[in-house]
């Protein structure tokens, strides 16, 4: 369900432009009226930004009270000054909110290698306590965007509680924990330990299954706050709700991939284990040749076979046991190509804006599903002028 007015109790938000790059929203604070149980996951990229360093420190005790996020500048590869700037931003926001700096999780996203415009940030943070309003999380979803074409947000009810999720990220997307930025707020009562477990499981089934361009961001963060103001909920129901919301957001990220015109869903079944299924599925969705063929509606299914076959280093692929289909159109069955008559139907199918590729390896009973997008001319255009 999309965000349609439902908001968890006790969360206030301010989203504004502080002039980091242009006149669009580029800075947001989301805060809980009371300290909240929290959990987060971060990029494993070795070139991570100082916001990741500080975020890891602050969420370690399982408690947070605010998210502070800026877009248009990643504050990565900025040395000791970059780290000092993050700590100053956190300190200034903490003073405004009358909370401790350690209860704030910071994030930055955007261009790498540039210092934050601190004077503009200082001016933007001043007086922000009076600018916070209950709800308005849709504006926060806008403020965290970089090259996204629309904000991504969902909301649902779990018992008496409400869960809201917002996310951004349509380029530099290849997860190694979770990819992009995503934040979840709920008034359910949960422990930090419960949050950590269910967040990790949800991320593994969703954001860790998305790829736009095989590049793992330096700023990836997924975090959740649960302030408990709505009371306890059924844990299994909440776990399922969070997973479903993460999957919906993950699909939207793939659909909105930079320059994308089509969403690609790849399902690999009958693998020896889950890791093999995921490797093969990622090999398909990450192949530039596969992505380009889908962009052009070219029924060149041999590129799928190529992407499966190149997983030879860790996997035993047996062509005589393998099936390949687009939607329900079979193109290869256990060593033999299907009749040429399928190609006309396949070309028509590939004109759709959502493409499903189904593979059976015939080796076991495990499966994986991943999401990606096609490779268009606009992807090169966007990334060829990103800092201009």
The active-site residue, picked from 31, 43, 179, 218, is: 179
What are the start-end ranges of the H helices in the chain? 50-59, 79-97, 118-125, 128-131, 137-143, 192-205, 235-255, 274-286, 288-295, 302-309, 341-349, 377-384
* 168 belongs to an annotated ligand binding site: yes
Q: Can you read off the two tokens belonging to residue 201?
A: 């499981």
Phi, psi for residue 47 in degrees, rounded to 5: -100, 35
Q: Are 252 and 167 in contact (CB under 8 A)?
A: yes
Q: How far apart are CA 362 and CA 317, in angstroms?
A: 9
- Would you say 258 is a known binding-site residue? yes
**Is 270 a known ligand-binding residue?**
no
Distance (Å, rounded) from C-alpha 385 to C-alpha 232?
49
Please say whether the beta carbons of 317 and 277 come within 8 A: no
Pair 367, 267: CB distance under 8 Å: yes
Instruction: Output the six-digit token pair for 219.
Output: 């700023």
Query: What does 312-356 look like in DSSP terms, one character per residue?
Result: TTT----GGG-EEEETTEEEEETTEEPPTHHHHHHHHHTTSSEEE
Task: Using alpha carbons, select from 154, 215, 205 the residue that is nearest to residue 180.
Answer: 215
Q: According to the annotation, is 381 in a ligand binding site?
A: no
Q: What are phi and psi of 264, to 5 degrees?
A: -115, 125
Q: Does the annotation mark 179 as catalytic?
A: yes
Judge whether 383 is annotated as a binding position: yes
Active site residues: 179
The binding site for substrate consists of 146, 168, 179, 258, 383, 388
The binding site consists of 146, 168, 179, 258, 383, 388
């Amino acid at each position: 369900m999309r965000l349609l007015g439902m908001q968890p109790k006790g969360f206030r938000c301010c989203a504004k432009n502080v002039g980091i790059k242009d006149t669009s929203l580029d800075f947001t604070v989301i805060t809980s009226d009371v300290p909240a149980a929290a959990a987060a996951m971060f990029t494993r990229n070795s070139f991570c930004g100082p916001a990741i360093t500080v975020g890891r420190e602050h969420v370690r005790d399982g408690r947070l009270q605010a998210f502070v996020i800026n877009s248009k500048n990643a504050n990565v590869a900025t040395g000791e000054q970059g780290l000092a700037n993050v700590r100053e931003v956190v300190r200034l926001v903490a003073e405004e909110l009358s909370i401790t700096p350690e209860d704030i999780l910071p994030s930055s996203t955007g261009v790498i290698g540039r210092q934050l415009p601190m004077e503009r940030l200082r001016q933007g943070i001043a007086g922000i306590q009076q600018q916070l309003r209950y709800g308005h999380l849709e504006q926060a979803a806008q403020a965290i965007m970089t090259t996204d074409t629309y904000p991504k947000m969902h909301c649902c009810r779990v018992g008496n509680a409400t869960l809201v999720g917002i996310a951004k990220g349509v380029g530099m997307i290849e997860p190694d924990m979770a990819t992009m930025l995503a934040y979840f707020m709920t008034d359910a009562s949960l422990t930090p330990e419960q949050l950590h477990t269910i967040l990790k499981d949800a991320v593994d089934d969703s954001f860790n299954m998305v790829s736009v361009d095989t590049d793992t961001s330096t700023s990836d963060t997924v975090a959740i706050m649960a302030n408990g103001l709505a009371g306890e909920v059924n844990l299994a129901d909440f776990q399922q709700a969070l997973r479903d919301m993460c999957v919906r957001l993950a699909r939207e990220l793939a659909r909105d991939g930079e320059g994308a015109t089509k969403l690609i869903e790849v399902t690999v079944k009958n693998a020896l284990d889950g890791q093999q299924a995921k490797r093969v599925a990622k090999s398909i969705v990450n192949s530039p040749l596969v992505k380009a063929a889908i962009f052009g509606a070219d029924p060149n299914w041999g590129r799928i076979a190529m992407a499966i076959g190149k997983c030879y280093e860790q996997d035993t692929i047996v062509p005589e046991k393998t099936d390949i289909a687009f939607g329900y159109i079979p193109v290869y069955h256990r060593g033999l190509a299907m009749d040429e008559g399928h190609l006309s139907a396949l070309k028509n199918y590939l004109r759709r804006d959502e493409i499903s590729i189904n593979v059976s390896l015939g080796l076991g009973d495990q499966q994986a599903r991943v999401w990606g997008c096609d490779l268009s001319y606009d992807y090169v255009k966007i990334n060829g002028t990103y800092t201009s």
